[in-house]
């Protein structure tokens, strides 16, 4: 038995950051964009002049915009942490195998 190598934690942290950056954030951006477009369609195309449907569409537009702002903030925070701790080396960690 040798001394434990804590370097594997860097691999897992890099895996988490790249998974969030490459998978989670784009999916959530797509969801926010779809909600925004659905709100626009509901407020201006499908409302038929009904004020309650227009208000509901505006609410969906607002939630879509809030989703964009939140996701931009999270994405920026992940990139700041990744750059600060040097986890953006471009080397993808390998998954443990048995």
Which pLDDT tens digit goes with each residue over 63-90? 999 988 888 887 788 778 777 877 655 5
Residue 98 lies in a domain: no
Residue 90 lies in a domain: no
First to last CA, the chain: 19
Residue 95 lies in a domain: no
- Cα distance between residue 60 and residue 38, in whole Å: 7
Residue 91 lies in a domain: no
pTM of the model: 0.64
Residue 1 lies in a domain: no
- Cα distance between residue 29 and residue 15, in whole Å: 20
Among 17-26, 34-43, 55-64, whose mean pLDDT is lowest? Answer: 17-26
DSSP 53: H
The predicted-structure confidence for 45-61, as pLDDT tens digits, reads as follows 988 888 998 999 999 99
The pLDDT of residue 38 is 92
List the domain range (segments joined by +) for residue 51. 8-84
């Amino acid at each position: 038995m040798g001394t434990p190598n804590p370097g594997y934690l860097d691999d897992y942290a890099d895996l988490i950051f790249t998974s969030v950056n490459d998978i989670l954030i784009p999916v959530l951006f797509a969801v926010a964009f779809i909600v925004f477009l659905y709100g626009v369609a509901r407020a201006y195309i499908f409302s038929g002049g009904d004020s309650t449907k227009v208000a509901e569409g505006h609410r969906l537009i607002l939630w879509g915009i809030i989703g964009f702002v939140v996701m931009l903030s999270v994405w920026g925070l992940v990139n700041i942490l990744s750059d600060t701790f040097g986890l953006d080396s471009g080397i993808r960690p390998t998954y443990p195998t048995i």
